[in-house]
Structure 1
Amino acid sequence: SIYLVAARWMGRPNYAFASLFLAGWLMTLIRPFTLWDVGFQLSFTATLGLMLYADGLTQWTRRQLLRVADRQTVRQIMAVISEAVLITLAAQILTLPLMIGYFRQISLISLPANALILPAQPGVMIWGGLATLVGMISPLLAQPFAWAAWLFLTYTISLVRMFARVPGAAVPVDVSWTAVIFIYIFIGAATWLIIQPPEKRARWAGLLRQNLSQKAALALTGMAALLVISWNNGQADGKLHIAFLNVGQGDATFIQTPSGRQILIDGGLYPSVLNDQLGRQIPFWDKEIDLVIATHPDADHVSGLADLFDRYRIPTLITDGEGLGESPIYDAVLQGAEANGTEIRRAVAGETIEIGDGVRLEIVHPGDTLNEENRNENSVSMRLVYGEFTYLFTGDAEQEAEQTMLANGRPLNAVVFKAGHHGSNSSSSAPFLQAVRPQIIIVSAGKDNKFGHPRPEVLQRAQDIGATVLRTDELGTIEVVTDGRTMWWQARP
């Protein structure tokens, strides 16, 4: 937008494609991993599709209609189908391969759904944009604009949910990313050929027929090289990686074993933030997480998991044993797991889960009986063991749960310990830290959070036992790497 305005102000011609790619370049320059964000990819390809195909589809459709109807009738038909059908088709030409690759399904009702939803989108953008701009000056003055945007958003979301419930709304499609890339190659080649003048199209068609085998071989060689590079970038390196994801005031930890098995512990508060962080950890073609652990139903631990089961194949979900009815968002997580065939297991102290590669998870809490008054005390707590390296996490378990763990006598010592409850004073008690004796304490907390996490008392206790404190609010995502003997860590915003 800035590019277009500046070009107009200087009296220079503006180019939609240049502005789109400039915007994409700036976004990825500021945040390089944006390139792997699904939302960015879909938005970028949808916009590019509109630029490439909307006018052409409209003109082609008008020409076909003029063959069978008069101009007045064609004008009336085009007024109806232009936005409802043609614009949607133009956007979907380039987004459809991505949607197949990521979501493994094709929507059969996108056209009627978009026909009803598109008219509301200008209201969303205009009122939402005004609310954002005015909100920078005064949140109170922005409220009327926000409420206006809310009406259009509510209409949109209600329709999306209604269409999503239609039986047979989507057809499952299981294709590889190799196939997706070939689809894009075909679309690109077809687009280039179509926009050529008729005489040039005929000449190129002849050349293609003559040199098809050579071009196919070249394309296959390029594709093979691309796949080899991508595959190598996503390969496990024979070491254990534990990434404490920067999800703000919440918890999410991603673990990759030496051979590439993947475990996610909690998901933070926002699905979009979790998806962004996972995009930095998991290759774009890898759609499986071997194990997900939801330590307890609090929103700052499980809200991010809401759509995870639709995006990844997840064989097993481990919970603290709480069932439906704890909260709407927790219900959505459990229902999403069940709908996608994920086995839901309850963690019980004393059990050991063999992950493979010499990695095991020892469950140290909760026991058979759950605390009905404070669900933080039921948080799934596990000790990960790999060679001489140990890691302990306790969710939001508070001092009562810590006392129970101490009384049970199970091993709690750990090289790395994730501070309970984001560094709250109600957790990480002095006796518990004395038993764990960690070298490193990780605190997952949001920058300038309203709770004051981590609390000064907890930081003092860490100092008393000589532990180094690493904080996501200061360092961003923190990754601990070990070969089972030595350990090192790194951080990135």
Structure 2
Amino acid sequence: MGKRQQGDFLLIEIAIIVGSAALWQWTMYASVIQIGVLVWLYYKRRPIVYYIGLSLILTIYFTYEAPLQQVPPQQLTISHHYKIDGDRLKGFMWDENHAKWYVSYQFQSEDEKNQFTSQSLAGKQFIVTGTIQEIPPAAHQYSFSMPNYLWQNKASGFFEVTTWQYVKQHSSWQVWLAQRRFAIQQHIEAVFPQRLQAEAKALLIGMRDGVDDTMTRAYQVLGITHLFAISGLHVGLLSYLFYMVLIRLGVRREWASILLLIILPCYAILAGGAPSVWRAVMVSCLVILSALMKRRLRVENALALTFICFVMVFPRSIFQIGFQLSYLATFSILYSQKILRHVRFPAIYITIVTQMMVSPLLIHHFYEVSLSSFFTNILFVPLFAWVVLPINLLLLFTSYFSLHTWLLWLYAPFRDLLTTIILWLKDVPFQLWQPGQLPIWQSLLLLITIMLSFIALETKRPRLYFPFIITILIIQLSPYWDSRLKISYIDVGQGDSTLIELPYRQGVYVIDSGGVLRFGNEAWRERKQPFEVGRQIVVPLLKGKGITKIDTLILTHPDADHVEGAEEIMQEVKVKEVHVTGGTAKPVMADVVAEVKKQQIPFYVKRRGDVLRTGDYSLYYVSPTIANEGKNNDSLVVYLHSQQFTALFTGDLEAEGEESLLQDAQLQNLSILKAGHHGSKTSSTAAFIAHTNPKLTIFSAGRNNRYGHPHPEVLARFEGHHILNTAQQGTIEVHVTRQGNIILQ
């Protein structure tokens, strides 16, 4: 290999070593990457000893970190990363010691909220009082993790502000740009039609929180969410437009390039400063700078250099999803262009190759990948690049001179039609592959066989596609080879939800959905994005496990903390049938019943004597015995039975309901009991505990809940028994072997 070729790969190799060193102490993926690099270097006859030395030095560099301060701040300065939703202000702020905090504040009145929303808060300094909050752990391994989020952003902690008093406004060019961004946001909201505002804010200034849930899900299903994240596509187009305008104005090419070096970093801040924006801006600036210096810099080397700089300065950025997808997608585009130079329709192949390369990462983070994205991106990428984005830029520019009306008159109907098409395409079946979060060995196998497929494409050797096909079959079929029963007692806060997976995935049952009791609030307090237990806790667990279908959704009784999330589950995951007790006419069931009717899901009222049999397991309803109103003692009580294992799920059953079960001999000596009513003292009587005599008891309760569940009296009754509590352990998952042995995960 010649020196020129070695030099072409040098920065890329160093970038890989920097990335793996940054990952070293946090994930075993890093060791696999390091081994791969060493094998590559040996194959290419590189001086391995130098790279080993570099790896050691970098690992030490990334391992050392100054300890974060945990002293409550007395003054806070708001960064441009904040958000106001309903009666809450949340975001990152800096204290007087330059420590970064995640801060939350609840507005006391509508007037106070209006004072904060009417101006940019970036750079404003306040004297504050408040308390450092305990950071809640993730509900389970597949849900959003606040500790990880704060760690990735290097925040000292979570601070709840009680009072604050304005001190002064800091001035800097970053603050000035943040204020300009806020001004553009207000201008868009004042001038653009409401249905076009979310798109304009996302494409022009990187504010994506205005896109409604229905459209967000449509973009996810079609695999085009990335089009609304400002990235190389947007930066490249803007660079070209700025450059051509400057040239048309008579500016010399060198000066136009120098001005771009100033304009692009400013745009990165104006657009919100996401990793994808900075990556595109830094690569563009390096290429422009090398051209000015008459030294040719290959784009892939510029990409590697920006990666090295980014990770060296902000090591934790490598754990951010946007950072990972941005660099991997760009790398894939660059190298697919090299591989596919001689094929017909290279743009189509480049899109397919890029989507395949990012698929393992998408599956790891989101547990699903859009199959239609291989085709939709071929249509929508050029459409957004050459129509939607330029028109939004033109609309913004002309709106400052009140010349945009005619363009809106043309564009709005076109965009409405495009929205209709997107929503129609979303409902086409079989667009998503949802294998769940893969074990490490399956992820690596998938990545390796994807690379083999690229070799097959380049060398026209079809046999190399077979390992990829076999890998897909292994991933798809692996849940059906598992002989264990799995029960997950889901941490839904002060509520109930349990997932049952029968051996070999013969059946999937969900008992209750969790939920939040919502009280009527004043309009100004209502949040655009309220917390939804079903969508944000239960559904991620199902998707993380690769569950795409629920055979039976069982709602034990119509209380909000048991059923409010059911509608969200049915909207996200196919449900074959729903079982309920009485009380379906209660207001809390209205949304559930409406969704059932909308999807035409079979809906059954169950009582004692009904049974579901699948394989070696039977699921019996042992209570209630008669028609009822859906009160606590009318809860559907579910008894899961096999020759070696038994479990009882009691809903909110109280003493009266428990008494009716004391004569049921099959409920003696249970393997697992889910304690009734979250551990309320009105449930779990001494007689019931003695009768069931469970090996393991699970309480489902919220952390620091206002009811004091599980009650100390109840805990005393269970003295001598093995108990677990979702408030302490989070989601509790048990695996049961064919011999009936219980294994806590």
Q: TM-score, normalised by structure 1?
A: 0.61
Structure-2 separation of matches of 1:415 and 1:55: 59
Structure-2 separation of matches of 1:214 and 1:87: 44
Structure-1 separation of matches of 2:607 and 2:539: 29
Aligned to 1:278: 542
Structure-1 separation of matches of 2:679 and 2:174: 48
- For the pair 1:239 / 2:484, whether they are aligned, the reply is yes
Aligned to 2:610: 351
Q: How does 1:150-161 map to 2 (within 5 A)?
A: none
Q: How many residues align?
A: 360
Aligned residues of 2:485 and 2:502 also touching (Cα < 8 A): yes
Structure-1 separation of matches of 2:486 and 2:691: 24
Cα displacement (A) at 1:364: 1.2
Structure-2 separation of matches of 1:249 and 1:178: 33
Aligned residues of 1:50 and 1:87 also touching (Cα < 8 A): no
Structure-1 separation of matches of 2:278 and 2:731: 30
Say if 1:391 and 1:341 are closer, same or farther in 2 by CA, change over 3 A.
same
Cα displacement (A) at 1:386: 2.0
Match of 1:274, as an amino acid? V
Structure-1 separation of matches of 2:674 and 2:615: 23
Per the alignment, in what secondary structure is the counterpart of residue 306 of structure 1?
Answer: helix
Aligned to 1:175: 430
Aligned residues of 2:618 and 2:642 also touching (Cα < 8 A): yes
Q: How does 1:95-244 map to 2 (within 5 A)?
A: 107-108=420-421, 172-177=427-432, 217=462, 221=466, 224=469, 227-232=472-477, 234-244=479-489
2:671 paired residue among 415, 420, 426: 415
Per the alignment, in what secondary structure is the counterpart of residue 307 of structure 1?
Answer: helix
Aligned residues of 2:513 and 2:562 also touching (Cα < 8 A): yes
- For the pair 1:473 / 2:734, whether they are aligned, the reply is no
- For the pair 1:57 / 2:315, whether they are aligned, the reply is no
Say if 1:26 and 1:439 are closer, same or farther in 2 by CA, change over 3 A.
same
- For the pair 1:367 / 2:697, whether they are aligned, the reply is no
Say if 1:258 and 1:215 are closer, same or farther in 2 by CA, change over 3 A.
same
Structure-1 separation of matches of 2:580 and 2:654: 17
Structure-2 separation of matches of 1:376 and 1:239: 32
Say if 1:473 and 1:82 are closer, same or farther in 2 by CA, change over 3 A.
farther
Aligned residues of 1:403 and 1:432 also touching (Cα < 8 A): yes
Deviates more, 1:264-273 or 1:404-413: 404-413
Per the alignment, in what secondary structure is the counterpart of residue 323 of structure 1?
Answer: coil
Aligned residues of 2:669 and 2:695 also touching (Cα < 8 A): no
Aligned to 2:320: 26
Cα displacement (A) at 1:444: 0.8
Q: Aligned Cα RMSD in Å?
A: 4.5
Aligned residues of 1:315 and 1:342 also touching (Cα < 8 A): yes
Cα displacement (A) at 1:288: 1.3
Aligned residues of 1:37 and 1:275 also touching (Cα < 8 A): no
Aligned residues of 2:611 and 2:619 also touching (Cα < 8 A): yes
1:404 paired residue among 660, 673, 686: 660
Match of 2:366, as an amino acid? W
Say if 1:85 and 1:319 are closer, same or farther in 2 by CA, change over 3 A.
same
Cα displacement (A) at 1:55: 4.5
Cα shift readout 1:309-329 (whole Å, capped 9, x = no counterpart): 2333322211113332x12x3
Aligned to 2:580: 319
Aligned to 1:158: none
Aligned residues of 1:317 and 1:342 also touching (Cα < 8 A): yes
Cα displacement (A) at 1:78: 3.2
Pair member with larger Rg: 2
Structure 2 residues not aligned, in runs of 5+: 1-79, 82-152, 154-172, 179-261, 280-315, 324-361, 370-375, 393-400, 435-455, 516-532
Structure-2 separation of matches of 1:28 and 1:461: 50
Structure-2 separation of matches of 1:401 and 1:24: 54
Aligned to 1:487: 741
Cα displacement (A) at 1:174: 2.2
Cα displacement (A) at 1:249: 1.1
Cα shift readout 1:267-295 (whole Å, capped 9, x = no counterpart): 011222221222223x1xx5311111100
Say if 1:75 and 1:323 are closer, same or farther in 2 by CA, change over 3 A.
closer
Match of 1:263, as an amino acid? Y
Say if 1:85 and 1:275 are closer, same or farther in 2 by CA, change over 3 A.
farther
1:337 paired residue among 587, 596, 616: 596
- For the pair 1:434 / 2:690, whether they are aligned, the reply is yes
Aligned to 1:98: none
Structure-2 separation of matches of 1:359 and 1:250: 26
Say if 1:170 and 1:368 are closer, same or farther in 2 by CA, change over 3 A.
farther
Structure-2 separation of matches of 1:293 and 1:411: 20
